Amino acid sequence: MAKSTSPPNDVLGTLNAISANSFDAESDRIKALLAAYALVSRLETPWERISRMCMGEPSLSASLKVVKDLQLFEKWHANGDEARSGDELTALVNCDRDLLGQILRHLATNHILIEPTAGVFKPTTFSLSLLQPVFGEWISYLFDVGIPVLHKTPEFLQKTGYKNPTDPKDVAFQYAKDYRGDMFDYFTSHPREGASFNHVMGGVMAHQAGWLEIIPAENFMNGSDPNGPMVVDVGGNIGHDIEKFRQVYPETAQRLYLQDLPAVVKFAKCPDPVNKMAHDFFQPQPVLDAMKPGYSRLLVHDHVMPEKDAHPHATAYDLTMMALLAGVERTETQWRDLLSSVGYRVVKVWQSPFGCTSNH
């Protein structure tokens, strides 16, 4: 294969000039990001890749957990977000100077921080985002749940003969945690970890397209019975999507229902008169008038796994849901088979503008 005749400096200059602001459409930004991932895989040698996966990334996660435990970013922010030396940052926290220096260097070389001059560090958009629970609590979740469960997943699969898990009370989560009961039961009895998980799910929902952003609103409004329920959001977390709907159509508030487990729905962000109901969706649905034959429709707001070239986030969700809940991210064929097996007919599949989520 002939090599490019473009001078390397021109290539590097072009790459260094690209940022998220270079794209008008979010879908184009995502395509460029996937192309950048692929570029890294083509540029890395096997040694570079295995050392990054097995040393660099675990060390980065550990470094983030240490600075979270020290509340370094919070204390830094409270004293101003300007560039600070390692000595100045050490003075903010109870940590050995040399140890913190090692951690700061690793964060900087991984673009979590900026090091404008040797030993001086500046926050980035990402490090500042960790001050928000929907980002920062991912670090707690990673060490409380993610790492322990995924660490034990290969061992669990080996012990169970590499059978695909189907029982949410008998997966790698229970094996790693030595717990009987499903994950949601565990979080109810371990509220700190449960609170972190709720923030994580809030981040997931807040940073993917909601159903109102994907599906034309007239699909809800046209032909709606003004005297009955309009939307029942089953497993709707604290109400990210249904609150967006209420803000657009405030006159429908008393016909909207948010349902989730008691430990979740008590934090609902929807104001009255939205109906907030504690409900386990494995139990009979209490809003009986919500599903009328020939009138009501079931909207599944979930990932649809592409048959080929799936987004790496989608495949990561797939494996994580398997380890936590015996869950699966289904392809369109699998969704159609599942829904038809219980008498539903798929009317339409909407594609998310973000490229990872579709709705039925």
Q: Which sign does the torsion angle of CA 154, 159, 160, 162 carry?
A: positive
The encoded tokens of residue 205 equal 């929902």
How many residues would you count in the chain?
360
pLDDT at 220: 72
Check if the beta carbon of residue 100 is closer than 8 Å to that of residue 89: yes
Q: What is the rounded end-to-end Cα distance, in angstroms, of the chain?
A: 45
Q: Does domain 27-129 sit in CATH 1.10.10.10?
A: yes
10-residue averages of pLDDT along the chain (360 residues):
60 92 91 95 97 97 98 97 97 97 98 98 98 96 98 98 97 97 93 92 80 77 80 89 90 94 88 94 86 82 89 93 96 95 91 58
pLDDT at 292: 78
Which residues of the chain form CATH 1.10.10.10?
A: 27-129
pLDDT at 79: 96
- Rounded CA separation 172/321 (Å): 10
Q: Would you call 37 helix, strand, or coil by DSSP?
A: helix
Q: In DSSP terms, which residues pair with 301 in a beta bridge?
A: 359
Prediction pTM value = 0.84
- Rounded CA separation 258/34 (Å): 35
pLDDT at 350: 87
